Structure 1
Amino acid sequence: MQEKIATICAAIDIGSNTLRVVIARCSSSEFQILDADEALVRIGESVNATGEISVEKQAHALSVLKKFKSLAEKHAANTIVAIATEAIRKATNRDAFLQAIYEQTGIEVHCISGDVEATLTFYGATYEVSQRPQSPTRIAVMDMGGGSTELVFARNLEISWHTSLPIGSGWLHDRYLSDPPTEADRTTALTFLRTYLGGLTSNLFLLCSWPRGERKHFVTPCPTCLWSRR
């Protein structure tokens, strides 16, 4: 019998709040996390304020990515896959930033769409559930990041509906909350969320053909299981 060959891969996520890396040994029958690291950079803070990634945020992110690259090399990673999400999607100087990353680290970053982010979120969040002998018939996944929130509904592990909303924890903080937030801040933020999400949540189960009386399985991804699949 031919022996299954494992590959060491590094996955990097450039999020609106946090940059993360997960390094794992992967094969068709094995998934073993070897190392992981993260850093709070808050790229979305400058994008929310000015529409672009500031010089300071770029320098911080590049420093972190160089550290991640060294960690991947330490574990002799065969492949480095890097993605960027909402804050980078919106930044007016996105292309220049991604080019600077490539020139200074050799890492090619893929800026993914909200639809792709929702899909990857689902498969990362449900990885362990999918390995069970009997997985739930219907699953809902919600992932609130710094700049966006992904919602996914699935039946028999097949996605039936998904969306990526351009609101996240960092975005809400920068737009509505002081530090520490006041009661008035919280009321304003809650009013916005109720208004923004009202139409969506009232029709969500109808959109997904999900009977209201049926038992549902909800999953909120933890960083490790999510980024290891990304």
Structure 2
Amino acid sequence: MKVGVVDVGSNTVRLLVASVGSGEVRSLEEGRAHLGLGEEILLHGRIRRRKLDELDAVVTEFARIARKHRVRELETVVTAPGRQGGESERLLEVLRRATDGPVRVVSAENEGRLAYTGAVARTSVGPGVVAVCDVGGGSTEIVVGTALLGPAWVRSVDIGSLRLTASLLHGNPPTRTEVESARASIREAFSGIAPPAPELALATGGSARAIARIVGGAYDAE
């Protein structure tokens, strides 16, 4: 069965067209557009008309690509932009019109659970406790569980790479003072969060991929 998914996040809007069957997902075509919806919400409290028009054009094209593959289902999921911005119904209406299909706002907890399931499914993990940290543009989810039983502990914080950069890291490169302010903001946001100790930790999301390109894909506790 061929399906299409449009993922509307704080940094990017993504398309995946895939063939699904026999427990496998095979990518047929992918698309990606950087729109910065999270920064728009942070600066203006909502997504303004010009940015909604950009989103409309991108998602309309993604829907055309998906239907070119004769997908049986085309679903749009919205993460932090659907939870954090004012007038979110305008955002959802634009997406419904552009795709002529269902649009779903994913709760922070479900976003974490989905990230965990995807990360564990694509990684060779043992039976022990696994943690997944999903750093997005507008929020960060930490999830702990096992491959067999799935997520057991989920927390989400409204702080992500885009929100942090737009609000505190203005220089290029940022100044030492800006970096210290960002670190203090992160410490405050995560204070009081004490996840169960895992045997293995995985990081997902665009920020994790960027870090992996700089320092490598794996590192130890040191």
Task: Decide: shared fold, TM above 0.5.
Answer: yes
**Does the 8 A contact of 2:159 with 2:189 survive in 1?**
no
**Does residue 1:150 correspond to 2:141, yes or no?**
yes
Alpha-carbon distance between aligned partners in 2 of 1:115 and 1:154, rounded to the nearest angstrom: 14
Match of 2:49 in 1: 55
Alpha-carbon distance between aligned partners in 2 of 1:159 and 1:217, rounded to the nearest angstrom: 14
**Does the 8 A contact of 1:16 with 1:88 survive in 2?**
no
Q: Which has the larger radius of gyration?
A: 1
Match of 2:216 in 1: none
Alpha-carbon distance between aligned partners in 1 of 2:99 and 2:191, rounded to the nearest angstrom: 44
Deviation at 1:135, TM superposition (A): 2.8
**Does residue 1:77 correspond to 2:64, yes or no?**
no
Match of 2:115 in 1: 121
TM-score, normalised to structure 2, is: 0.85
Q: Unaligned 5+ residue runs, structure 1?
A: 1-6, 224-230
- The 1:122–1:20 alpha-carbon spacing in structure 2 relative to 1, beyond 3 Å, is same
TM-score, normalised to structure 1, is: 0.83
Deviation at 1:97, TM superposition (A): 1.9
**Does the 8 A contact of 2:59 with 2:98 survive in 1?**
no
Match of residue 220, structure 1, among 184, 190, 203: 203
Aligned residues: 204
The AA in structure 2 aligned to 1:88 is G
Deviation at 1:28, TM superposition (A): 2.5
Match of 1:192 in 2: 185
The AA in structure 2 aligned to 1:143 is D
- Say which structure, 1 or 2, has more relative contact order (CA 8 Å, 6+ apart): 1
Match of 1:227 in 2: none
Match of residue 84, structure 2, among 90, 97, 115: 90
**Does the 8 A contact of 1:44 with 1:87 survive in 2?**
yes
CA deviation digits over 1:173-223, x for unaligned, max 9? 1111104122211111011112222332xx32xxx3x4xxxx711112356
Match of 1:226 in 2: none
Q: Alignment RMSD, CA only?
A: 1.7
